Amino acid sequence: MKTVIITGTSRGLGASLAAHLIDTAPDLHLICVARHENRELEEVARRKKAKLNFLNADQFPNGEFVDIKELV
């Protein structure tokens, strides 16, 4: 199973990309990184039986970039 990490999934482009991947490639493992969970994405993933995990994180706490690999 391939794993895809998407940042900014609480709304906007990140959420749209995650929703698209859930619809078109439910065999992927999605790790969604955002400040806030997206309950709508979680529900879509549940209905499609897609593997989705949320990582609540801010990539720029205190104005400094955090390497996502360190969070996963």
Instruction: Calculate the average pLDDT of the chain.
Output: 84
| pTM beyond 0.85 | no
Other CB atoms within 10 A of residue 4 CB = 13
**For position 21, what pLDDT does the model report?**
96
Cα separation, 14 vs 38, in Å, equals: 11
Ordered strands of the 51-56 beta sheet: 3-7, 29-34, 51-56
pLDDT at 62: 61
Percent of the chain with pLDDT over 70: 79
pLDDT above 70 for 64: no
